[in-house]
Structure 1
Amino acid sequence: MSKAPDKVAFEGDVAVRRLQHENALAAEARSRTRQERLAFPPIYVVVGVYRLITDKNLYIPTWDKCKHGFVRGAVVGLGWAVVSFNIQRAFIEIFLRNSPRVTGLSHESIFGYQFPFSVTTYATLLFVSNQVTHILRFFLSKNIRIARDRAWDQTMRSRGKGHEFWGPYIEEWAVPPHIDGWSWESWLGSYFGRVILLRGILLPLTFYPFVGIAVGAYLKAINTARYLHKQYFEVKKMSKDQVAVFMEERKWHYRAFGFAAALLESIPIIGLAFTVSNRVGAAMWAHDLEKRQHAVATGELKPIMPTLTVDNELKPMVGGWQDEKRKFI
């Protein structure tokens, strides 16, 4: 005996509502996960590494594009390392012998801490590996740039997003911050600043295990993050002022993301692979940031209001509570 039409309609309505409820829960879970990622941007660096390792649509095209240059660079780099290692070790040994009071280093310890191998050997390995990295970068320069751009595009395709997904810039703060015209971080991003950073500031620190890499990553954090999101800013057609405000509003997020990305890219030799995975992570972060832009544009999220604070913290804000207060005086 067939079911009554009313009962069939009722069961169909229940099934539709159940499906809608499940979809709503899934969307809420995705939104919550996205907000958790946005609260801690360095996680995107880890996500980028994971995606590059596990997604064959990412690692196969990347390797196919870079393998010939990598092989040629590896052969030249290995030959250079074998020929020059002992020579460089002798020069470094002379330097350490003549300047232990300046560097705090000796042949066997760093500030009294023993190493499983001599400091001279460590410093030589670090210098030679950095030189091999530059050799590899020379042979990979064009192809690895193409691989990075393709990694970004493939990441966006995997999210099902085309050019129509990217809307115009939406201001998310009710009171945008004021941007100064100069900062030490922008100066470090210039050619002259990079030369001073690499040749003057970081060179002495390279003798200390991990210290030079960490300090360099911190100093390069903002510029690394800005470079990794260059495609995001371009696809949204953002002006320089809009980019500056957008990054200032997320200054500590960009600094944390840039530090993690620069830290991985600073690792000798394998850091070249991380320049590709960081582009994947940056694309994932850009996708989540654009989702938030959509939410603000549609009114789902309200603009962030300034909080009551001391006068000194309000002064940098354009149109802040100080300006509002003057209207009524």
Structure 2
Amino acid sequence: MSGKVKEVAVEEYEQARVMVRDAARSGAYLYPIKGIAYFFTHRSLWKPLYEKLVPTISLGLGVTAFMFAVTYVPQAAVLAVFNGPFAIVTTVLLVLSESSTIFSVLSKNFLIDEALIDTFDGTLLSRNLNSLVSTERAVKSGSDPIAKLGKIARKPFARFTPKAIIRYFMYLPLNFIPIVGTVLFVILQGRKNGPTAHARYFQLKQMGKREKEEFVEKRKAAYTSFGVPAVLLELVPIIGIFFAFTNTVGAALWAADMEQRQTTAPHLREQAELAKKAE
């Protein structure tokens, strides 16, 4: 039995090591930060956020205040049994996570869904990917990437499904484990949210369900490494809405870099083949 346990532990360690290595090599974890910098330096991308700022902040304040007023004390009492003095910190993180989830469901379904699509598409246009964006919406002439956006053909963001809600509450008991449990909870949320950030990209590429699943599976470490910092940023009370937009910009920058590598790699292969023939 001890030999089997050791064997499983070694396998799990090896899988985790490979995941960490692949995540580090991908550099995807940097894109949420790149999104913040790019958003700040491209004022034209601010318009979708401006238009939804007041109602969204009001919603965020209301949800966060309600959750802390109603759920903090009972959850802190339960977590104190498992986490001891760390319960103060873990309960705050838990309530913030719950508030963020509720806020995300309400805002992305009823307030900012189209604004996030415009931000994603506008970022791609700022990177000169007009042909990609034009597969799903009209693109006008001009220099302002947001002003160039025409009517959306289809929305990629699915409604928050019962399955997603069930999965979220299945993860909540992890917070009973001091520190490590909260970390695992954030990682699992990041693993789920990472591919969601590219929902619009998958649509623009006109990927089918199977093609999208294969695409994500090959890059699961990268998507998790993107999702973790993105989730942490959006957990910040109230201003998490700002990070929802910068994360969208970061996801679009990552997609743009993917597109650039895809178009550059075939060109390099052609040059290599021509060089061989010349020899």
Q: TM-score range by the shorter chain?
A: 0.5 to 0.7
1:51 aligns with 38
1:216-262 CA-partner distances (Å, limit 9, x unpaired): 33223343222211222222222223223322333322232233323
2:116 to 142, 148, 170: 148
Alignment of 1:87-236 (within 5 A): 88=71, 90-92=73-75, 94-95=77-78, 100=81, 103=82, 105-106=83-84, 109-110=85-86, 119-120=87-88, 122=89, 125-126=92-93, 129-130=96-97, 133=100, 136-137=103-104, 138=106, 141-163=109-131, 191=161, 193-203=163-173, 205=175, 208=178, 211-212=181-182, 214-236=183-205
Distance 2:99 2:214 in 1: 39
1:62 aligns with 48
Aligned AA (1:50): A
2:254 to 282, 285, 308: 285
Larger Rg: 1
2:226 aligns with 257
Distance 1:220 1:128 in 2: 15
Single out whichever of 137-146 and 271-280 deviates more from structure 2.
137-146
Distance 1:252 1:132 in 2: 27
Distance 2:180 2:119 in 1: 29
Deviation of 1:50 (Å): 1.5
For the aligned residue pairs, the C-alpha RMSD in angstroms reads 3.6
User: How many positions carry a matched residue from both structures?
Assistant: 223
1:40 to 27, 47, 67: 27
Q: Which runs of 5+ in 1 are unaligned?
A: 1-36, 111-118, 168-189, 303-329
Distance 1:287 1:297 in 2: 16
2:208 to 216, 221, 239: 239
* Structure 1 length-normalised TM: 0.55
Contact residue 28 and residue 226 of structure 2 kept, 8 A: yes
Q: Secondary structure at the match of 1:269?
A: coil
Aligned AA (2:244): T
Contact residue 221 and residue 258 of structure 1 kept, 8 A: yes
Distance 2:193 2:60 in 1: 26
Distance 1:200 1:152 in 2: 31
1:253-288 CA-partner distances (Å, limit 9, x unpaired): 223223332333344433332222111111111111
Structure with greater contact order relative to length (CA < 8 Å, sep ≥ 6): 2
Distance 1:267 1:278 in 2: 13
Aligned AA (1:58): L
Aligned AA (2:74): F
